Amino acid sequence: MTKNKNKSLNNWKDKFTKEVKVDSVEDFFYSTDEEINIKPLYTEADLLDYKFNDISSLPGEWPYTRGPKASMYTNRPWTVRQYAGFSTAEESNKFYKKNLEAGQMGLSVAFDLPTHRGYDSDDELVVGDVGKAGVAIDTVEDMKVLFNEIPLDKMSVSMTMNGAVLPILAAFIVAGEEQGFDKKVLSGTIQNDILKEFMVRNTYIYPPEPSMKIVGDIIEYTAKEMPKFNSISISGYHMQEAGANNVQELAFTLADGMEYVRAALSKGLAVDDFAPRLSFFFAIGTDFFMEIAKLRAARTLWAKIMKDFGAENEKSLTLRTHCQTSGVSLTQKDPYNNIVRTSYEALSAVLGGTQSLHTNSFDEAIALPTEFSSRIARNTQLILQNETGITNTVDPLAGSYFVEKLTEDMCAAAWKIIKEVEELGGMTKAVAAGIPKLKIEESATQKQAKVDSGKRVVVGVNKFKNPNEPKIDVLVIDNEKVREDQIRKMNLVKSNRDSKLLEACLDNITNSAKNNEGNLLALTIEAIRARGTVGEVSKALENAFGRHYATNVGVSGVYGKFFEKDDKFMDIQKKINLFEKEKGRRPRVLIVKMGQDGHDRGAKIVATSFADLGFDIDMGPLFQTSKDVAKDAIENDVHAIGVSTLAAGHKTLVPALMQSLKELDKDNKIIVFVGGVIPEQDYQFLYDNNVSAIFGPGTSILDSAEEVIKLISEKNN
């Protein structure tokens, strides 16, 4: 820097320290969740000595920091997608067609949890989940109805599917075929990102290693047979939703991508044969500039990674991504604030250079989005595209001292984690060891502690609260009717198929999986064409691979360290200690998830924070039935059961639990409390079913813990 610039900077430092009353500018640095120090001022001096980011690069040029294409939105804006699906294929199809008429440009399909987990709708394990958090798909006939009058040769379709990825992708291909379209013209994306399921979302079916064989077979098949289709969407979205900070999301996602590249190479494919069809999926939270820098850093690092793999095709080097605004940033309290949050998150994604975008609806912390709320979410993107002028220039924040330095800092921090994963032998081994999962759970607990302690402000939740909470209309799904309809349709398909042909197809799948011969997607297409169900194909694979069951390992001490001298925290500890003194043991709580809902962030945070307060905690395994939970509660002699629910199954699963408890808990001493995404209109229903307390999204852990120890103490007097 020149002497004059140095003098100006020193003058600014003097003025700054006097105005904010600190000894040095460094005293005013802000440390992010990612442990990146944010300075109050950035200058051109911060743009020197870059290792990753090349600030002189242009859009569409190496290392693609400024965007994968030279023209970006000046030529064509990002694709407006809305992730949607609920109830039956018929209802979802109506919803899709309305959205397309209203300006949506591509479809993004949400499947229900039984479909994700490879169960048919008539399975006893999925009674409360059918059609609740997505559309139920049992056979190719459902898939054909889902896309009825939607031309699959023209419409790009994104499908969030990982566990039952083979039968769902096969059903999509056969549905297109029976619409009259060859698979070569089908365009879109299948998520097919199984590694992140073992870390966070938990809609896995088979163990990690055979699951990776499925990933490789899909990449191989689509590379040869479906040139317009993206074989994998490498997803960080669910990592951030589970609590990962932005650096963790970036690093683990790219490390997953590296593992999938290796899986494809193991099939004998050349890197440039498949890499152009790899895509990514990131979450966009409320940290505005961090999210922009994350997308720029993702492109920068992926270009380097793919070059190291020997890629030469420019399309192999360019990271293309879909983004979705954050679900976990949405609040049940003062929910209209969520429209503002989503709008800024959408702007952040666009300024970061996303290729397509889904904006969440403001009511999704309460229930499934209504048609009204979905329209607002969709129009948020249309307003950005048509009214703000941000599509008139490419990467408008390029050259910003702050954004460029933050991009470099993100690259450096993520690269450090990627190297650590590589030293462990790659992401498959890291996932099997549970390392990423633990790091994400620790981050999630830290974030919750910051909110509960007031160190992080959430408007309308822990500050600036609305004394007059608005009433929100919510979408209600009749789960029993949907299940009955699905079973009826599935039985009709079964009664009209060639059972011997199907049996031979399913045997071929099992034998191929056992012997590691042939391509599993090709064989699954034959089974689906013969009218095999999602559950039957999944069972054929399970006969060879087995079904994966995770073990619970939690973090400890993370929540408590934020409250070492907090009066409320210490008061709850005193009440727990008093209970132990009077009863001879600590209050014991069983934290559970029921049904096929694998989103366990809330359950894990409650378990670890309650343990830090002094409760004895048992953590139930995922995917339990009500009978399993009641049996565990009696055997472990617990005082309370805490049920975490995020997938709208509470009106079916909780009453079933209460009935099971009634049969086993003869002394009626176990209280049940429920937390998660529960519309307020359902509270009385749960109270009428003898639930003792309900804690919605945004409830402070300390408030819930205080209520739980009070209820346990009253019940045991």
Beta carbons of 570 and 708 less than 8 angstroms apart: no
Beta carbons of 53 and 408 less than 8 angstroms apart: yes
So which residues are the catalytic ones?
83, 237-238, 593, 597, 599
The residue to which tokens 């607990």 are assigned = 445
DSSP category for residue 607: H
CA distance 107 to 366: 23
Phi, psi (rounded to 5 degrees) for 230: -85, 120
Q: Which two tokens stand for residue 571?
A: 């008061």
Q: Which two tokens stand for residue 154?
A: 């023209």
What contacts 69, CB < 8 A, 6 or more positions away?
59, 60, 75, 318
Number of CB atoms found within 10 A of residue 530's CB: 19
The residues that bridge with 31 in the sheet, in sequence order, are 37
Q: Which of 174, 474, 537 is nearest to 332 (CA)?
A: 474
CA distance 363 to 327: 10
What contacts 482, CB < 8 A, 6 or more positions away?
87, 88, 121, 130, 131, 136
Beta carbons of 250 and 284 less than 8 angstroms apart: no
Phi, psi (rounded to 5 degrees) for 284: -125, 110
CA angle 366, 372, 374 (to 5 degrees): 75
CA distance 346 to 332: 20
**What 3-state class would DSSP assign to 438?**
helix
The residues that bridge with 167 in the sheet, in sequence order, are none
What contacts 564, CB < 8 A, 6 or more positions away?
none
Phi, psi (rounded to 5 degrees) for 714: -65, -40
Cα dist from 431 to 208, 427, 546, whole Å: 8, 6, 18
Tallying the residues shown for the chain, one arrives at: 717
